[in-house]
Amino acid sequence: MLKYVCSACGYIYDPEVGDPDGGIAPGTAFEDLPDDWVCPVCGVAKDMFEPAH
């Protein structure tokens, strides 16, 4: 699964880790995150993320 990086703050969403503080279980692909999920660091929406290279 691809990692995604926040273009606003540089936070990297790693699907293998998920977002435990946000209620996202490990193994959750970025595409499967709820539409209202936001960056846990800076609070921007999913559309501010891009695939990490």
| 36 known ligand binder | no
Instruction: Judge whether 9 is annotated as a binding position.
Output: yes
Name the 3-class secondary structure at 19: strand
Residue listed under structure tokens 């936001």 = 38
Quick check: 41 and 28 in contact, CB under 8 A? Answer: no
Instruction: Report residue 49 CA to chain centroid gap.
Output: 7
17 is in an annotated binding site: no
Summarize the annotated binding site as residue ranges: 6, 9, 39, 42
| Binding site feature residues for Fe cation | 6, 9, 39, 42
